[in-house]
Amino acid sequence: MAKITLDNLAHSYLPNPTSEDDFALKELNHDWDDGAAYALLGSSGCGKSTLLNIISGLLHPSQGRILFDGQDVTNAPTAQRNIAQVFQFPVVYDTMTVHDNLAFPLRNRGRDEAYVAERVQDVARMIGMEDELRRKARGLTADAKQKISLGRGMVRKDVNALLFDEPLTVIDPHMKWELRTQLKKLHHDFGHTMIYVTHDQTEALTFADKVVVMYDGRVVQIGTPEELFERPEHTFVGYFIGSPGMNVIPAKVEGRQAYVNGSSIDLGQGYRPLDGKVEIGVRPEFARLSASDGLPVNIRRVEDVGRHKIVRADFFGTDINIIAGEGEEIGADMTRVVFDPAHVNVYANDWRVAPEGAHKGPVGEAA
Amino acid sequence: MTLKLEGVSKVVAGQTHIHPTDMTLEKGTMNVFLGPTLSGKTSLMRLMAGLDVPDTGRIVWNGEDVTGRRVQDRNVAMVYQQFINYPSMTVYDNIASPLRLMGRPASEIDAAVQKSADLMKLTPMLQRKPLELSGGQQQRCALARALVKDAGLVLLDEPLANLDYKLREELRVEIPKIFEESGAIFVYATTEPEEALLLGGNTATLWEGRITQFGLTPDVYRQPVDATTARVFSDPPMNFLSVSKTGDKLLFGDGQTAPAIGKMADLPDGRYSAGFRPNHLEIGQHAADAMRFTATLSVTELTGSETFVHLDHHGERWVGLIHGVHDLTLGADLDVYLDPRHVYIFGEDGALIAPAAYALAA
């Protein structure tokens, strides 16, 4: 296992980039700690696959260096980086048995057969394919094949890092739970450095110790799942994490109060005067309906999604969402909304503003 | 407008893809087919569309038997997981293509395309080619083409599966609104329980080529007829533990008891299976009459606002979804609580015997 350092890294797919807009990956400095589990999260086109391909050596960056345990590998080909990769779609040898597919990376490196047999057994148990080791991979379902790909990624203990690129896309929801739990357990037991690329927030948050959120070629926040939820540093993080995402409401902020259409909202803490586009952000989980307190709101629909309800409403011309409990009655008298002051964040030009006297939370290095 | 399946079945190469199935779908309804891969969702849709011919049974459209009729001669539109558009045509021509094939007059085509594009928020992109659009816009173009024909039956086979998480979230909210306006019969296949709940309407749960239950979506979710349906309609999966009934008491593991009330009161003594959803398991805070179980914590996952706990309870694997962020020690024993009102009781054959008390109130 290794610490991976990104030093002044950037990438453009154009031969002669002139402005920042030409870069698919904007300048980035970051250390991926040895033995930590990271997720790279963002929508398609945000630069997350570009970054992963630079780490794996499939792509040579236009600028900067990449180091494994302090050693420059920027010009080293993928094969010399000693990493294991699992891709979105299964890569298996159809004519080989499941056993031989799993054994392939070990045999390739000349490990003795006794060791190979032992590791293949361990990995087969992890992916739940012990009973299918003798059959050929041909004719297996897509998710069975993807389990083999995952197993092959995990079979070597001596890799510098394990890289996953949307590995659970073709897997059924129930099996996703199994495999994610296995990956998590594997990480706990063996402490591999893992980088997991996904657009699925649930996968990212549940898998990783730290989530790296990317937007438009830039890292906008690196944080624990709790930090991303409680203190999104950018409105994009608020929108992207959480389902539905954070409510973002245009407001005026003066000291401890925010004003929306002339009505005031308690912020719990004081803020210095702000310029530019000012908004407040409140997650649907921290808004509640009320008959008597708070500010007026117009409920448009209530969706029963099982374990809770999502209330879709209009708040002074802004669409907002409110989470209500599974058994909560939403009567006609529920015409007001209350925001929990401890969970109202303030944003200026999309970046979070720390209240006066507070330390700003951890932010993305590129911010 | 009604679509009726009467004893429809399909066997392919000796394997039963669809067991004999009866089903009636009404005009203006959204019907979700929920089940894992290979449970029969696509097979059933292909039979409805006329892409495949059933081995037994009849397909009746508005009282008329259409069993052997080709898909071209039926009033059907279908959208697949892989968005299919003509890459060399503009968005406008893509949407217009089904109507042109039908030989409709240009003025009628234009009005229909404009309306359909407006619904799918594609009006500004009508002159672009599909590959110049984002994935979400490409799939909206495919949806618009399905809607423009004004087909009586619209079949959507996991239409959002290839889209980004956030786009999916947005389209899931939009799609039911669009459907309300169209008045067609919609069938929507998905593997995800959350998607079924967000779409609302009716849900049919599928398992190994059978429809296990069909009804209003929240009813199927809260009052599953058997353990299979409960399992299909629960993500993370429903938890189970064994329970025995003695007299007026239910005896759970760990020496926990609950009164045998309602339907359970009249049942013979014996062994049953209890099921409960992950979000009903609690740690710390709990109802006064909650039952307490001790389980070993194997993995925790944080989502930012909630914690998933994966537990081993005497060999039974449970998942709990606990509100808030909790720092717990892996490998340690953890006390978890379960309110008897959240427990479903199933027979040994899997049939529901007593629904959870809360579900009847909800």
Average of per-residue pLDDT across B198-204: 93
Cβ–Cβ gap B192/A173 under 8 Å: yes
Q: CA nearest B351: which of B245, B273, B281?
A: B273
Q: Please check whether residues B51 and B200 belong to one and the same domain.
A: yes
Q: CA nearest B201: which of B175, B227, B235?
A: B175
Does residue A39 form part of some domain?
Answer: yes
Average of per-residue pLDDT across A136-140: 92
Q: Does B38 touch chain A (CB under 8 A)?
A: yes
Higher pLDDT, residue A250 or A181: A250
* Number of domains forming the structure of chain B: 2
Residue bearing tokens 């619904």: B119
pLDDT in tens, B264-319: 788 889 999 999 999 999 998 888 888 999 999 988 888 878 889 999 998 899 99
Q: Does A285 touch chain B (CB under 8 A)?
A: yes
Question: Whole-model pTM?
Answer: 0.86
Q: Please check whether residues B74 and B207 belong to one and the same domain.
A: yes
Q: Does B89 touch chain A (CB under 8 A)?
A: no
Domain end residue (candidates: A190, A216, A235): A235
Range of the domain at A314: 245-353
Alpha carbon B68 to its chain centroid, in Å, reads 29
Q: Please check whether residues B43 and B188 belong to one and the same domain.
A: yes
- pLDDT of B132 higher than 60: yes
Domain end residue (candidates: B173, B208, B232): B232
Banded pLDDT at A174 (limits 50, 70, 90): confident
Rounded Cα distance, A279 and A247, in Å: 10
Q: Does B200 touch chain A (CB under 8 A)?
A: yes
Q: Please check whether residues B142 and B271 belong to one and the same domain.
A: no
Q: Please check whether residues B148 and B25 belong to one and the same domain.
A: yes
pLDDT above 90 as % of chain B = 60
Does residue A16 form part of some domain?
Answer: yes
Q: CA nearest B77: which of B51, B49, B112, B103?
A: B49
Residue B327 is predicted with a pLDDT of 81
Is the peptide bond preceding residue B236 cis, with omega within 30 degrees of 0? Answer: yes
Find the residue in A nearest to B329 (Cα).
Answer: A188
Q: Please check whether residues A218 and A266 belong to one and the same domain.
A: no
Specify the length of chain B in residues. Answer: 362
Most confident of the ranges A33-47, B138-152, B209-223, B273-287: B209-223
Tokens of A3: 């610490």
A142-154 helix and A173-190 helix, angle to the nearest 10 degrees: 10
Residue A365 is predicted with a pLDDT of 39
Q: Please check whether residues B79 and B191 belong to one and the same domain.
A: yes
- pLDDT of A363 higher than 50: no
Cβ–Cβ gap B330/A201 under 8 Å: no
Q: Does A43 touch chain B (CB under 8 A)?
A: yes
Q: Please check whether residues A16 and A163 belong to one and the same domain.
A: yes
Q: Does B107 touch chain A (CB under 8 A)?
A: no
Banded pLDDT at B58 (limits 50, 70, 90): very high
Paired strand residues for B31 = B187, B202
Q: Please check whether residues B274 and B194 belong to one and the same domain.
A: no
| Chain B residues with CB-CB distance to A283 below 8 A | 305
Cβ–Cβ gap A202/B303 under 8 Å: yes
Is the peptide bond preceding residue A244 cis, with omega within 30 degrees of 0? Answer: yes
Q: CATH number of the domain that A205 lies in?
A: 3.40.50.300
Q: Please check whether residues A229 and A303 belong to one and the same domain.
A: no
Average of per-residue pLDDT across A243-257: 95
Cβ–Cβ gap A188/B299 under 8 Å: yes
Q: Please check whether residues B190 and B259 belong to one and the same domain.
A: no
Interface A–B counts its CB contacts (< 8 A) at 98
**ipTM for the whole complex:** 0.84
Q: Does B284 touch chain A (CB under 8 A)?
A: no
Q: Please check whether residues A69 and A97 belong to one and the same domain.
A: yes
Q: Does A319 touch chain B (CB under 8 A)?
A: no
Q: CATH number of the domain that A275 lies in?
A: 2.40.50.140
| Chain A residues with CB-CB distance to B237 below 8 A | 174, 177
Q: Does B237 touch chain A (CB under 8 A)?
A: yes
Cβ–Cβ gap B325/A173 under 8 Å: no
Does residue A358 form part of some domain?
Answer: no
- pLDDT of A270 higher than 90: yes
Q: Please check whether residues A184 and A267 belong to one and the same domain.
A: no
- pLDDT of A121 higher than 70: yes
Cβ–Cβ gap B302/A226 under 8 Å: yes
Residue B204 is predicted with a pLDDT of 98
pLDDT in tens, A41-56: 998 778 888 999 999 9
Cβ–Cβ gap B167/A43 under 8 Å: yes
Domain end residue (candidates: A206, A235, A264): A235
Domain end residue (candidates: A188, A211, A235): A235
